[in-house]
A and B are shown apart, each in its own frame.
Chain A
Amino acid sequence: GAGVSQTPSNKVTEKGKYVELRCDPISGHTALYWYRQSLGQGPEFLIYFQGTGAADDSGLPNDRFFAVRPEGSVSTLKIQRTERGDSAVYLCASGGVEPASGELFFGEGSRLTVL
């Protein structure tokens, strides 16, 4: 597709369960970012991939959160033992060397609700 694709668009789960959120970036973009947006807030950085490696995971809130990008394209954000406080919209963004501004291109997000 032309844009960043995220699945599922909505996920409702119970406290304690495991969830996976998927991001398919724009073809050719080597940089991939995950952000979390809580209700009424701006997006907060979670993790950045350059290619297959996580170059900056300083935003991951704790060790229940993990992300992978094994082939340098699709990424999966994994949340173990979900808590109600994990409820948020998880946004994925990708970027390349163009445009020169370095703008990020965002997907529509995955809304996670933990009951």
Chain B
Amino acid sequence: AQSVTQPDIHITVSEGASLELRCNYSYGATPYLFWYVQSPGQGLQLLLKYFSGDTLVQGIKGFEAEFKRSQSSFNLRKPSVHWSDAAEYFCAVAPISSGSARQLTFGSGTQLTVLP
């Protein structure tokens, strides 16, 4: 069965510092890969996605992620964190099959705290 692991439950960084959130997946084949962000009590907003092609993908709010097939990883990065980036971050996977609905399997999430 597919699974997603986010090994860091909580990360604290200072504003302006760089950020990397880790994500590893276990799947029969390379799935669709996503990073979503969730502010308290809110829905999920897509930051970026990977389906195929260039393994470095750019997203919104200055985020990027790199897909590494050999490591089954899809780590999220940002060069300079802003206080507004404090939120919960979820890595997610979905099976690749034509016409399939996007039933997502989520990692357990990483809570990001940003210090002034």
Do chains A and B interact in one complex? no
